[in-house]
Amino acid sequence: MSRPRWWTTLARAVGMRGLVYSTLALVLGTVLGLGVFTFGYAGGWAYFGNNPQTCVQCHAMNDQYSGWLKGSHKNVASCNDCHAPHGNYVAKYINKADNGFWHSLKFTTRDYPMKIQIRPHNKQITEHACVYCHKELTETIHVTRTPGEQISCIRCHTDVGHKR
């Protein structure tokens, strides 16, 4: 198989190593440029903040946002208060990046269920958030449980954050 003439001419001019580096730089630059453009176009910077309206940039979250507006936590907690780790900014933004990636992938490919389900990892974060904010109430409940047995706040209080 012979190479196109332009390839041979270019390879001689910049050398084979230079051609490989140039091609790699072009591909990486294109991917990075498209990523930055998409992030900016989609309002990605808003996800670094704490505004609950950010969550409805994805139309799939309209029901959750509407439920939050009707819920008892509207005036005291935003999405991040319940769905992001407390006290560790690195863990918080790693979690937000992980969720952002999966949310955008699912939304872009339209591969999300009509009834959105919380992932086990995020459910655990939400459970910790309940205990974090309601320490006074939960301490007495945890005393009555056997060691290592975790009671689920969400199991009984399913519509606290997102009223149906």
- The residue with tokens 């409940």 is 141
d(CA 154, CA 161): 9
Q: Is 88 annotated as a binding residue?
A: no
**23's tokens:** 């091609």
Dig out the tokens for 66 from the structure. 């509407």
Query: 157 among the known binding-site residues?
Result: yes
83 labelled ligand-binding: yes
The answer to the question of whether 156 is labelled as a binding residue is yes
58 is in an annotated binding site: yes
86 among the known binding-site residues?
no
> 103: annotated binding-site residue?
no
Kindly provide the b/e burial profile for residues 91-116, where b requires at least 16 CB atoms within 10 angstroms of the residue's own CB.
Answer: ebeebbeebbeebbeebeeeebeeee
| Annotated binding-site residue? 92 | yes
62 annotated to bind ligand: no
Bind-site residues = 55, 58, 61, 79-80, 82-83, 92, 130, 133-134, 153, 156-157, 162
Bind-site residues for heme = 55, 58, 61, 79, 83, 130, 133-134, 153, 156-157, 162
Bind-site residues for a menaquinol = 80, 82, 92
